[in-house]
Chain A
Amino acid sequence: NAGVTQTPKFRVLKTGQSMTLLCAQDMNHEYMYWYRQDPGMGLRLIHYSVGEGTTAKGEVPDGYNVSRLKKQNFLLGLESAAPSQTSVYFCASSYVFDSLNTEAFFGQGTRLTVV
């Protein structure tokens, strides 16, 4: 029962490098989300997807791109990493997102350091 799986778990990048974070869920959820969490702060939504082939911007989308080519996968890309993107990144998924059922299931997180 894997739930939400993120890869990699840790990564160190040099400024200007690019990378892709992978999120996979096996619960057949429609909605998927990418958050970042900085020390002493709550989660901030980067991008989200309400279904295969669709993506939308969240609260802090700049510097990131996403793709949802398959329902079970949600990719987060950094084209040119900056030190300000040093953070812990969490992926989450949920069945739907409405006032009736909004429970989201989270992955274990990816700790990214940009030097």
Chain B
Amino acid sequence: GESVGLHLPTLSVQEGDNSIINCAYSNSASDYFIWYKQESGKGPQFIIDIRSNMDKRQGQRVTVLLNKTVKHLSLQIAATQPGDSAVYFCAENARSDSNYQLIWGAGTKLIIKP
């Protein structure tokens, strides 16, 4: 799962299996959450988002689950493929002086084993 520090959490998954990447957020007032994927040498790319009035949202092969009670977010990737290898970041939408700012987690590196 997500953590702050120099050592990036890593998740190794067999190709074809499902992946679950976890994230704990800190601000109970955050009302919007996003998952980004960052491939090596590239900028982050939007995957899926969810608002706080939802507890589940599905995209293509991805599902995001939100548990506001314990301030936990997860990203599920179905039938993991080699192209899913990347660092995955969750971000929460935190209000600051009436402007929203995204607070990013440290990321989880997903490794796909053949």
Chain A residues engaging chain B, CB cutoff 8 angstroms? 4, 39-45, 48, 50, 56, 58-59, 90, 92, 97-99, 102-109
Q: Which residues of A contact B51 (CB under 8 A)?
A: 99
Q: Which residues of B contact A39 (CB under 8 A)?
A: 6
Find A40's partner among B6, B91, B100 (CB 8 Å cutoff).
Answer: B6
A102 with B99: CB separation less than 8 A? no
With A39-B6, A40-B6, A40-B8 known as contacts, the answer to whether A102 contacts B106 (CB < 8 A) is no
Chain A nearest CB from B10 CB (Å) reads 11
Q: List 17 A-B contacts (CB under 8 A).
A: A40-B107, A41-B106, A41-B107, A42-B91, A42-B107, A43-B104, A45-B101, A56-B97, A97-B100, A97-B101, A99-B51, A102-B49, A102-B100, A103-B34, A106-B44, A107-B43, A109-B43
Q: Which residues of B contact A44 (CB under 8 A)?
A: 104
B43 with A108: CB separation less than 8 A? yes
Chain A nearest CB from B91 CB (Å) reads 8
Type the 1/0 row for B51-94, where 1 means its CB is closer than 8 Å to any CB of A: 10000000000000000000000000000000000000101010
B99 with A56: CB separation less than 8 A? yes
Q: Does B114 contact A (CB under 8 A)?
A: no
Q: A49 to B81, alpha carbons, bound, how many Å?
A: 37
Q: Which residues of B contact A43 (CB under 8 A)?
A: 44, 89, 104
